[in-house]
Each structure stands twice: as structure tokens, then as C-alpha cells.
Amino acid sequence: MIINEIYQKLVSIPLKLLVSSKLVPDDPVKDLKLDPHAPIYYVLQRRSTSSFVMLQEKAKLLNLPEPKLISGSSEKIENGSVFFLQNKAMFGFGGKLVDKYQKLLERLVSQQKLDPQTQHQLIPVSIYWGRNPGKEQSLLRLLFTDTESATIFRKFFLFLFQGRNSFVRFATPVNLNTIIKPEVKEQTIVTKLTRILRVHFHRHRQVAMGPLISNRRQVITNVVVSRNVKKAIEREASSKQISLDKAKSQAEKYATEIASAYSYKTIRIMESTLTHLWNRIYDGVEVRNAEMVRGLATTHEIIYLPCHRSHIDYLLLSYTLYHEGLVPPHIAAGINLNFWPAGPILRRGGAFFLRRSFGGNKLYTAVFNEYIFQLMDRGIPLEFFPEGGRSRTGRLLPPKTGLLAMTVQSCLRGTRKPIAIIPVYIGYERMFEGKSYLAELRGAEKKKESFGQLLGLRKTLKQAFGKVYLNFASPLMLNDYLDQTQPEWKSFRGQANAKPTWLTSQVTDLADILMQRINTSVTLNSVSLVGLVLLGTERLSIDAKELEKMLTLLLALAKKAPYSEQTYLPETSPIELISQAEKLRTIYRIENPMGEIVSTDEQSAILLTYYRNNILHLYITPALIASCFLNKPSMARSTIIKELTQLYPLVKKELFLRWSVEDFKDQLNENIAVMLESGLLIEKENTLSRASESVEASEQLNMLAQFARPTLFRYGIIISLLSSKAGKGNISRQEIENRSQQLAQRIAVLYSLNAPESFDKKLFRNTMSVLRDHKLITITEDNNFMVEPSLNTLQSIILDKVNTNSKLILQKTADWADEYWQEE
């Protein structure tokens, strides 16, 4: 034992000098629900003094039992004992099971049998000396990459070259009671337990390291020589009457344009750079549900689907995953980002590039599809943005389903692992693109990405941007989803690019579900909440005390009538929220003898609409309820639910709300209950009445109604136009969309309506689609509109939920539009 202690002290010297390790998860006791009062034991895969010393350091940091080496003669396994599964072999390869620890595990099993009420926690601990998976066909990886076994000589090189990039991962304890059966011998149980642990260590290593890095040239060759692409080459040569060599050369060019050039060295450099960047501009990155992802990654092919708000999204998700002990994904990036120097760096960081439109190019489509399949089949995690581009309004954009369809086709074809699609919410208290978005929020064209934009970041990086929130939402198991919706899907196994008749509609439904799941995992923050309230005031100003009370109401609504159990509320008080928004320079205070005023300027107000739209879906339900009382002092509860249910399909499609119609009715009742409790409404005999106008609650009710005003305005514009144009000559859907948008922009300018979505054609297109889907309008063969009577009912419901001034604005602008277009 003395010799062991001396050797451990000697090993600890280079560990302290050369190694800097990160703990995964950050707080294992909390995240893994470890019971500090129950016995804890540790399992390491290989017998290693350096690993044992590292474990001692982390256990001390976490206030866990001190790891202890066990004597083979020990009759009782003490709390904190360490088990080693395997020995090292010559030159670090192989390694047999350690008989001594197999016998000691048998004694532990006996202890559990004798005392089944006590939960003996057997914790697997993985230690990675670096995260380099190594390259295929590379001799250097024998020296410089972490392997499951390493000699003293190799370990020295690992400390030297990878020591600052080491990870220690604690895993969920093995529940011995689940594998112990009284009638089964201890030796048999330990054999099963050992097999479970060996599989565990292998899978977790794959999750942390990923597969060996393939030579890019070989990846391109594998794509081009695949059976699917060969057929596409033959079709290309035949249809364009060119030689097979020329068609093959074109396929190689496409593959070269697409393929990433993943480099571990680049990942390391980017990790170091980004750590400095995040610490400089952000107050922290809050990550939620990472343990869920770590668990899924051991058994599934992972596809990450984040919302897209900022160019930082590309870097942030990869950086976060790396620090959570997961392999950074290969990222589908727009070809517009492939400019020097960003393009080469992103490509080496795992980005692969795709064109904005495939333009019916069947050869390009086949090459891209095959590349996606081969990545997935090798177990490489992928990331793509379902919205296609960054949202300029702050709300989720309608999804583009091309890459999602390819994912489903790869699943039909058959990947080695089942596929888990993980929606990801990324939210910012303040984005560094804020200024560049100002013009775009006013309708200006997006500027093309360039090197000059990168140079302009220096001034931006000197500012404060608050916190970033990255939440992994509820995953969708694609194989299980297809089992439920299309039971015959497995009949397409082995078919490349299969296109069953149900594919398009199923992918569309799937995309909507995933967007809804992103919206369920939102984090409320200071800027979005304060912006929501300020934009509901007439002059972008509010008494500080009133703002505090309004924020208290919003937090109560989110807590007592939650949008989702996965929605995250701030833990700070309303006063602290206001101070944080002020610190980020989105609002300012005005001193006044009668009470402090909180306000914002016009430019900041436009940007606040962006942050407001991040969370609008959380408050649209109480806002619509409040809108019912703008023109009426009271309404029957049943009437409110009936009218808002008729309006719901429009709002659901636009904001990707997660409820069915019946669930929406329940949500209405939950919000009404909170509004009754808060004194905003009064109920008598199933009739709801607004609070007396002399009461403060009445002002809060009016402010809640303002949250829905821009949305109802747009619906009012479109439906008024449709009603007035029905049966009066030919007019296309596109023309209605364009004219509706022009009207919305005119209203926004003339009446200071802060609604950048007035410039978003997609929202008007969405509304038209919903009206057609619900048969409120039909388009005849001569391109004319037929308006159903129910549309007029919907129009009355909408106009009844905006105030008198808003009705006049709508009517005045519609009259102007009618007069203007008659002159055309």
C-alpha cells in the first residue's frame, strides 16, 4: 500500500502540471440524482493509476466518498471502493478482465442481496485524455489519441498533447436490484453486470469521441462510386448527351463543393477561441437537458434541429455539445457562408455546404442525398436549421422540409442506428447582429455575407450581450414515429431516395411537430419580457412600479397556466429583470417627482419587437382573452371559448402552437382562472366581466390585449381584402398577399405600429394557406376568390377584438387601397 501511495504521488505531479480536466455533467450529484447517504462505488474501465488519481480529485471536488483501492482479502466492500474492469496488455492493446475485481464484485452483489433495501450505487466513470478520435489509416493516432488502453510511454504523450483537453464523465449509477435475482448465483450476475458495463464504456466512448475521421478525398470517392450516384451519373450522361467521364467529373465537383473537411485540430483551436469570445461578450450560456442528449447519443443517430436567430448559432451549439462531452455535429450550412476566410474554417469545423435551391438538378440532389446517408450511417451526428435562414422577426419561420425529407429517406433506406431528432431552442438576451437587423426589420434587403462584415465585428464585440439560453427540447424518435403513422415504412428498406406517396405530407406534419417542440422549450428572459410590456404601451413608456406589477402578472400566467412543462421561467425578481434590461441598453429610466418612468427609443423599440416575438406564443392565449373585453364589458365564458376556437387555426399555424383544438380550450380555461385570481376578470353565473375601470387590473387587461394587436391587425387586413375582392374579377393569391403586405406596411409607418412582421411575406402566405385548408375561401378555375359565409363570421370576430381606433385605421387603409387599386 505504501508503494502504491508513493507511485500515486509521483503520477499526480505531471497530472497537476499538464492536465486540465472538465467534469461532465457539471454537477453529477444533482443531474444524476446521486444519493449521498447511500453507499457509492466507482467503476473504471482500465486499471490505471492516473485515472484513479484523477477520480480522487473529482470526488473530493464533489464531496463524494473518497475513492479507495480494495484489497483482495476484503470481506466487506467499503463505501468509496473502486472497481477496475480490465487490465492493460502489452503496448496498450487488448486487456483481460481483472479476476480480483470480478470476485470483489461478487461480494458487492452478496451485500446487495443481504440488504436489498439499501441502494448500492455503482457509478461508471469514464476518463478521456483528450477528445481526438484519430484518423483512419494513421500511425500517429497510436501515440497522440486517447485509446481504451495506454502504456506509460503513450500516457506521457497524451498528457503532453491532450492533457488540457481531458474530460471526466460520471454516468447514471447501475441499479443492482434490477439485475439481481435471489435464485441466480453471484458469479452469473457479475458476468451479466460486467457485460453491461463494458457495453456502457464502449458506447460512451463513441459518444465522446465519435468515429475515426475519414480522409476527405476518400469520403468524396465513396459518395461518387455509390450505386445511387452511379445511376444518377448514367442518367445525367444520357439526358445531356455527354460522356460518362464528364458526368462523373461533375458529380465529383458537386461532392467536393458539399463535403466537410472535419479537423480535430481546428475544433481545438475554435474551442479555445470561442471560450475567450463567450467569456468576453456573454454573461454565460445556460444549457438544459444535456444529460438527456448524452443518454440518447449512446443508442441513436442524433439529428439536431435548432431555431436560427444568429450566425452565432452555428458555433454555439457545436461548442456547447463539445463541452457537454458530446461529439460536435456536421452542420448543413448555406453556400452563402462559403467565403474566405469563414468558409474554410467552418468546413474544417464540420460544416458541409448546400445550395439554397437544388433547382431540379437531379445529379446534385443524388450526390447530396448520398452524402447525408453516408454520414448518418457512420453514426456522425448532424445539425441543420429547419427554417433555412435566420429569422428577421424573432418568431419561428415556416420550415423548409428538404433536409428533413432526406433524413426520412435515409431512415427508410436503413441506418445502423435508430434516428432521434432533437429540436433545440437558442435564445439571446441581446444579439450581436442587432444593428444589422434594424434595416431588415424595416423591410430592407438582407446584405450578402462577406469578409467585410467579419471586420466590422470588432466594435460589436466590445458591448455586453447578456446571457444565452440553449435548451434541448423533447426528442422525436423517427423510427417510432413512422411505426405509428406509416406502419408499412420498413418495406422501403434498402431503397435509396424512396418517395412513397405519403412522404411529402408526412414530412410536412413532422416539420410542424418539431417546430412546435422548439417553441415548448423557450426561456423567458429580461429583454423579451420587458419588451413585451413596453411595446404594449402607447408611447413606449411606463411607470416603473406599473412595469414591475405587469411583469409579476406575466410570470404568474407562465407559472400557473404554463405553455409547456419545458418552458423555463427566470429565477430573478421583476426589479432585477428591469435592471438587467437596462444594463443591456435596451431601456432607460427617466426620473420624475411623481415616480420613475421606464422608456425606450424608437430604434431600440424596433429591436424589442424581435425579442417580444421570441415569446409571443406563450402569451397569445391570455392576450386573445383580454381582447374580448376591449369593446364589451362582459361575455359568456362559452362565447369566448367558441369565438377564440374559431380563430385558433390561424394563430396555431403562425406561432406553431402545440395544442389541439380541445387542448386549446383547456388552455383558455386555465388562463381565465389565473386572470380571475389576479383580479383582471370577474365571473358571475358563467359570465366574465372586466375589472372596474377605476381598478389597476383594468389597465393590465388592456395591456395584455395589446400583445395580440399586430397579429389581429394582419388577419383583419387580409380578410377585409378577400371579402371586398370576392367575385370582382381575377386576382391571384400572390397579388392578395402582396397587397395585404403593402397595407400592413402602410399602417406600421402611419400609425407607429411596431410590427416588423408587416414586412414578412411568409406570414401573409401562411394565413392564406390556413384559410384555404379550412375551406373559408376557395379559388376557382379562373383564379377568382369564392368567400364562404363563415369567413365573414371570422372577420366579425377579429374586428370585435381590436379597439375602435384600430377599426378606423383598418377601414381607412382598406378604403385607400380600394381607391388606389381601382386607378391601376
Look up cell 422501403; give the residue: 492
Give domain status of residue 236, yes or no. Answer: no
Q: How many other CB atoms sit within 10 Å of the CB of residue 373?
A: 23
- Give me the mean pLDDT over the 564-571 stretch: 93
Residues 564 and 680 placed together within one structural domain of the fold: yes
Q: Which of 654-668, 697-711, 768-782 has the lowest mean pLDDT?
A: 768-782
pLDDT of 250 > 70? The answer is yes
Residues 646 and 575 placed together within one structural domain of the fold: yes
Q: If DSSP codes are grouped into helix, strand and coil, which group holds residue 187?
A: helix
Residues 198 and 292 placed together within one structural domain of the fold: no
Q: How many other CB atoms sit within 10 Å of the CB of residue 330?
A: 24
Please give the pLDDT value at position 408: 97
Residues 536 and 580 placed together within one structural domain of the fold: yes
Residues 534 and 462 placed together within one structural domain of the fold: no
Rounded-to-integer distance, Cα 746 and Cα 816, Å: 11
Determine the distance from the C-alpha atom of residue 540 to the mean position of all C-alpha atoms in its chain, rounded to a whole number: 32
- Structural domain range at position 602: 526-706
What are the beta bridge partners of residue 68? 81
Rounded-to-integer distance, Cα 154 and Cα 148, Å: 12
Cell numbers for 751, please give them: 400609425
Single out the residue of 594, 412, 431, 390 nearest to residue 494, CA to CA: 412
Give domain status of residue 250, yes or no. Answer: no
Residues 691 and 747 placed together within one structural domain of the fold: no
Q: If DSSP codes are grouped into helix, strand and coil, which group holds residue 175?
A: strand
pLDDT, one tens digit per residue, over 82-122 is 999 987 654 444 456 788 899 999 999 999 998 888 888 99
Average pLDDT of the residues of the chain: 86
Q: If DSSP codes are grouped into helix, strand and coil, which group holds residue 69?
A: coil
Please give the pLDDT value at position 267: 86
Rounded-to-integer distance, Cα 135 and Cα 121, Å: 37
Single out the residue of 135, 142, 441 nearest to residue 264, CA to CA: 135
Residues 442 and 559 placed together within one structural domain of the fold: no
Give domain status of residue 755, yes or no. Answer: yes
Q: Which of 163-167, 491-495, 569-573 has the lowest mean pLDDT?
A: 163-167
Residue 350 and residue 329 in contact, taking contact as beta carbons nearer than 8 Å: yes
Give domain status of residue 667, yes or no. Answer: yes
Domain boundary among 174, 209, 244: 209
pLDDT of 628 > 80? The answer is yes
Please give the pLDDT value at position 91: 47
Residues 658 and 779 placed together within one structural domain of the fold: no
Give domain status of residue 203, yes or no. Answer: yes
Please give the pLDDT value at position 789: 78
Instruction: Number of helices (H) and strands (E) in the chain: give both, helices first.
Output: 34, 22
Please give the pLDDT value at position 761: 72
Look up cell 461532465; give the residue: 24
pLDDT, one tens digit per residue, over 670-724 is 999 999 999 999 999 999 999 887 788 999 999 999 999 888 888 888 887 777 6
* pLDDT tier at 451, thresholds 50, 70, 90: very low
Please give the pLDDT value at position 210: 83
DSSP codes, 620-672 = HHHHHHHHTTSS-SEEEHHHHHHHHHHHHHHHHHHHT----HHHHHHHHHHHH
Rounded-to-integer distance, Cα 238 and Cα 241, Å: 5
pTM for the whole structure: 0.89
pLDDT, one tens digit per residue, over 547-556 is 999 999 999 9
β-pairing verdict for 166-170 and 121-128: antiparallel
pLDDT, one tens digit per residue, over 264-292 is 888 888 888 888 888 888 888 999 999 99
3-state secondary structure 564-579: CCCCECCCCCHHHHHH
Domain boundary among 495, 520, 545: 520
pLDDT of 463 > 80? The answer is no
Residues 492 and 600 placed together within one structural domain of the fold: no
Q: What angle do CA 646, 647, 650 make, to 5 degrees?
A: 125
Please give the pLDDT value at position 757: 65
Residues 714 and 670 placed together within one structural domain of the fold: no
Give domain status of residue 798, yes or no. Answer: yes
Q: Which residue has the higher pLDDT, 193 or 496?
A: 193
pLDDT of 771 > 50? The answer is yes
pLDDT, one tens digit per residue, over 355-404 is 988 888 999 999 999 999 999 999 999 999 999 888 888 889 899 999 99
Q: How many other CB atoms sit within 10 Å of the CB of residue 734?
A: 12
CATH code of the domain covering residue 434:
3.40.1130.10
Give domain status of residue 124, yes or no. Answer: yes
| Domain count along the chain | 4
Rounded-to-integer distance, Cα 713 and Cα 719, Å: 10
Residues 749 and 641 placed together within one structural domain of the fold: no
Please give the pLDDT value at position 215: 86
- Give me the mean pLDDT over the 478-497 stretch: 93
pLDDT of 233 > 70? The answer is yes
Please give the pLDDT value at position 455: 46
Domain boundary among 651, 686, 706: 706
Residues 721 and 671 placed together within one structural domain of the fold: no
Give domain status of residue 122, yes or no. Answer: yes
* Phi, psi of 634, rounded to the nearest 5 degrees: -155, 155
